[in-house]
C-alpha cells in the first residue's frame, strides 16, 4: 500500500511558518505537522480531508530532533512518509559577542543549525522520506549568513554564524545524498532516499523577528539598509532590470508573500540534488507575476556577479555596494 504523505514545518505557529502551514493545507494536498513550542493562536482553516498536527517541541534542546522521529512512529502517523520538510524555525539572539552570550550561542546553534541538520539526517536514516515520488527539504536561510563584509553587523554575529554554518551543512547533506544515490552497490542506509535539498533566501519579511531586529540592532549600516527599504505593500512594483531601483532589492514583504515564493521554488528545477533561491534575484518568479521585464541574460548575469563578486573577491567589496544590492 502506498504511504500517505505529510509535510513537516518547523516554527509553524506564526509568521512565515504559519502562512506555509495554511498554504500547504490549502494548495498542496498534504497533511501537515508543524513543530513549535506553542500552538497556532488564530484558527486555521483546515480542509475537511486534511489533517493538521501540532508537535509541541523546544528546538533549543540539543536532542529535540529525536522527538520528531518518535512522533512520526506513533500509530496515527506510522503509515505516513515525509514529502516536504521545511526548516523555518529560527532565533536571532541579538547581542554583542562577549562572555555573557555563552548560553545564546548554544541556544541559537541548536535551533538554527543542529536540530535542522539532525532532523533531516534522522528522517533519512529511518527511511521516512517519500521514496515513491521523492521528497523535498527546504532550509530557510538568510543573507546575514553570506560571507560578505557589508552584511556583517554589530550584535548580529550569533545569528549570522549559525545561518552560515547551517547553509554549509545542508550543502554537504545535499552532496552526500546525491552521491549515495549515484553510488552503485552502496550499502549506506540512506541510499534509498530520493531527496532534493533547497536553500531559500525568503526576503526581508515583516515578522515579529524582523521587528525585533530593527529595534535592537545598533549598527548604522543595518539602519541604512532598512531605511532604504519600502514598507508599503500597496506600492507599485518598480522591479525592472533595465532601470534598477531601491525597491528592486529591498522591498519589505509580508509573510504571505514570502510563503508564496518558498512554495513556488518547489516547482523549479530537477528533483535532486537541489538548488538555491533568492527572493530578490528570482527573475522567473517576479516575471510570472508581471513585475519585471528581463534584460538580455548575459547582462543580467554580469550585473549579478558584479553584485556579489566571486568567492575570492568578497573582501574587496565596499559596504555601500552591498547595502545597495542585498537583503
Residue 227 has what pLDDT? Answer: 57
Q: What is the pLDDT of residue 160?
A: 92
The CB-side HSE value for 300 (13 A sphere, CA atoms) comes to: 14
* Rounded-to-integer distance, Cα 124 and Cα 120, Å: 6
Q: Are 142 and 156 in contact (CB under 8 A)?
A: no
User: How many angstroms separate the Cα of 300 from the Cα of each of 237, 281, 293, 306, 307?
Assistant: 19, 10, 11, 10, 10
**Secondary structure tally for the chain: helices H, strands E:** 12, 7
Give 4-30 pLDDT, tens digit per residue. Answer: 999 999 999 999 999 999 999 999 999
For residues 62 and 51, give the distance between their C-alpha atoms in angstroms, rounded to a whole number.
28
Domain architecture of the chain: domains with CATH: 4-207+253-291 (3.40.50.720)
Task: Cell 554564524: give the residue.
Answer: 161
Query: Rg (Cα) of the chain, in Å, rounded?
Result: 20
Taking the chain (327 residues) in runs of 10, the rounded mean pLDDT of each run is 90 95 95 96 90 97 96 95 96 87 94 97 93 91 85 85 95 82 54 81 81 72 61 52 45 88 86 80 82 52 44 34 37
Answer yes or no: pTM beyond 0.85.
Answer: no
CA distance 162 to 135: 25
Task: Look at residues 92, 147, 326 and name the one whose alpha carbon lies nearest to residue 225.
Answer: 326
Terminal CA-to-CA distance of the chain, rounded, Å?
46
Q: String of b and e for 112-141 (b: at least 16 CB within 10 Å)?
A: bbbbbbbbbbbbbeeebbbeeeebbbbbbb
Annotate 252-287 with b (16+ C-beta within 10 A) or e (fewer): bbbbbbbbbbbbbbbeeeeebbbebbbbbbbbebbe
Burial of 205 by CB count in 10 Å (0-12 exposed, 13-18 middle, 19+ buried)?
buried
CA distances for 162 relative to 33, 47, 141, 146, angstroms: 25, 36, 10, 11
CA–CA distance, 261 with 203 (Å, rounded to integer): 9
Amino acid at each position: 500500500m502506498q504511504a500517505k504523505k505529510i509535510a513537516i514545518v518547523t516554527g509553524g505557529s506564526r509568521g512565515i511558518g504559519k502562512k506555509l502551514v495554511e498554504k500547504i493545507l490549502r494548495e498542496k494536498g498534504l497533511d501537515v505537522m508543524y513543530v513549535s513550542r506553542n500552538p497556532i493562536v488564530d484558527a486555521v482553516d483546515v480542509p475537511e480531508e486534511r489533517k493538521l498536527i501540532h508537535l509541541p517541541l523546544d528546538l533549543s534542546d540539543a536532542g529535540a530532533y529525536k522527538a520528531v522521529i518518535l512522533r512520526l512512529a506513533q500509530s496515527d502517523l506510522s503509515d505516513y512518509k515525509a514529502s516536504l520538510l521545511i526548516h523555518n524555525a529560527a532565533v536571532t539572539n541579538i547581542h554583542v559577542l562577549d562572555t555573557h552570550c555563552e548560553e545564546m550561542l548554544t541556544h541559537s546553534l541548536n535551533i538554527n543549525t543542529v536540530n535542522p541538520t539532525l532532523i533531516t539526517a534522522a528522517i533519512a536514516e529511518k527511511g521516512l522520506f517519500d521514496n515513491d515520488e521523492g521528497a523535498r527539504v527546504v532550509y530557510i536561510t538568510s543573507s546575514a549568513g553570506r560571507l560578505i563584509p557589508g552584511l556583517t553587523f554589530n550584535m548580529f554575529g550569533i545569528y549570522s554564524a549559525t545561518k552560515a554554518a547551517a547553509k554549509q551543512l545542508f550543502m554537504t547533506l545535499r552532496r552526500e545524498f546525491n552521491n549515495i544515490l549515484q553510488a552503485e552497490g552502496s550499502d549506506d542506509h540512506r541510499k534509498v532516499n530520493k531527496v532534493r535539498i533547497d536553500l531559500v533566501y525568503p526576503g526581508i519579511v515583516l515578522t515579529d523577528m524582523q521587528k525585533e531586529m530593527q529595534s535592537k540592532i545598533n549598527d548604522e549600516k543595518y539602519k541604512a539598509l532598512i531605511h532604504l527599504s519600502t514598507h508599503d505593500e500597496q506600492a507599485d512594483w518598480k522591479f525592472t532590470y533595465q532601470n534598477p531601483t531601491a525597491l528592486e532589492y529591498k522591498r519589505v514583504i509580508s509573510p504571505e508573500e514570502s510563503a508564496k515564493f518558498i512554495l513556488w521554488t518547489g516547482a523549479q528545477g530537477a528533483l535532486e540534488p537541489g538548488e538555491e533561491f533568492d527572493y530578490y534575484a528570482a527573475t522567473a518568479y517576479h516575471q510570472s507575476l508581471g513585475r519585471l521585464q528581463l534584460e538580455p541574460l548575459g547582462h543580467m548575469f554580469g550585473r549579478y556577479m558584479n553584485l556579489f563578486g566571486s568567492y575570492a573577491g568578497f573582501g574587496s567589496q565596499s559596504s555601500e555596494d552591498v547595502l545597495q544590492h542585498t537583503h
